[in-house]
Amino acid sequence: MSKGALLIISGPSGAGKSTVCRQAALRGDVYLSISATTRRKRPGESEADYDFLSVEEFERLIALEAFLEYANVHGNYYGTLKAPVFESLDKGRSVFLEIDVQGGAQVRQSYEGAIRVFMLPPSKAALKERLLGRGTETAAEFEKRMENAIAEIAQSKDYDYLIVNDTIEETVQMLLAVTKASEQRVKNHLDFIETFL
Ligand code: 5GP
């Protein structure tokens, strides 16, 4: 039985990760991991966006070592539970983890075969435009977002693949191509090879 590939997708907010991951997961039959968080649900969000947990519940799961990775971002916990990810990989279905570089580094340490993909908008000007485009922030909040984005980009240099999100369609195709290539790595097919020996 072949194993699925584990892909970590990171990039600054405004790079378009969520839209691309959702579409590629649907088309490529990839399991898009749902993170657990202790932050409050925003209007319009549902259990399909996050697994919303209490701090007590989250900390109980940390103690049980149930997380593949977790982080505290802006005072809230965010994390990826091991069980659904490994169940999917074992069934041969690949997984997308849309997580920040900090989480990506943790996963890479505990799961050596994880492939890390970094997504960027086509230029710094486009990044600025996309962050401004949300139009919900004050100037100070925008500056903070821009600063965070640049700090995250600076940590991308040891990622495996870079995908520039110019048009959604091309970016989805590119992510699916990287997924296919990752699935074909020999280490995902050792059981199959054994059947010939
Ligand atoms: P938001 O609250 O806007 O949905 O997400 C805030 C930040 O948390 C984003 O930078 C997002 O990438 C990060 N995040 C979401 N889920 C996870 C997760 O499972 N693990 C880690 N480490 N970060 C996450």
- Ligand 1 pocket (Cβ < 6 Å) reads 35, 39, 69, 71, 73, 78-80, 99-100, 102-103
How far apart are alpha carbons 20 and 36 in whole angstroms?
A: 20
How far apart are alpha carbons 58 and 16 in whole angstroms?
A: 28
Going from the Cα of 78 to the center of ligand 1, the distance in angstroms, rounded, reads 6
The predicted structure's pLDDT at residue 87: 97
C-alpha distances out from residue 190 to 166, 186, 193, Å: 37, 7, 5
Residue 189's domain comprises 6-194
Read off the tokens for 188. Answer: 């995902």
Residue 106 lies in a domain: yes
| Residue whose CA is at the smallest distance from ligand 1 atom 2 | 39
CATH number for 164: 3.40.50.300
Spacing of C-alpha 197 from chain mean position = 37
Residue 97 lies in a domain: yes
The predicted structure's pLDDT at residue 94: 98
Going from the Cα of 173 to the center of ligand 1, the distance in angstroms, rounded, reads 24
Q: In the 8-state DSSP scheme, what is residue 105?
A: H
Residue 22 lies in a domain: yes
Residue 38 lies in a domain: yes
The predicted structure's pLDDT at residue 30: 98
How far apart are alpha carbons 166 and 151 in whole angstroms?
A: 21
pLDDT digits (tens), the chain, 197 positions: 799 999 999 999 877 899 999 999 999 999 999 999 999 998 888 988 899 999 999 999 999 999 999 998 878 999 999 999 999 999 999 999 999 899 999 999 999 999 999 999 999 999 999 888 766 668 888 888 899 899 999 999 999 999 999 999 999 999 999 999 999 999 999 999 999 99
Residue 82 lies in a domain: yes
Cβ pair 20, 128 in contact under 8 A? no
| Residue whose CA is at the smallest distance from ligand 1 atom 14 | 99
Q: What is the pTM assigned to this prediction?
A: 0.92
Going from the Cα of 177 to the center of ligand 1, the distance in angstroms, rounded, reads 25
Residue 138 lies in a domain: yes
Cβ pair 179, 7 in contact under 8 A? yes
Ligand 1 atom closest to the CA of 102, numbered from 1: 22
Residue the block writes with tokens 């520039």: 164
Going from the Cα of 99 to the center of ligand 1, the distance in angstroms, rounded, reads 6
Residue 1 lies in a domain: no
Residue 15 lies in a domain: yes
The domain tally of the chain equals 1
The predicted structure's pLDDT at residue 70: 95
Would strands 36-37 and 76-81 be described as parallel, antiparallel, or unpaired? antiparallel
Ligand 1 atom closest to the CA of 97, numbered from 1: 19
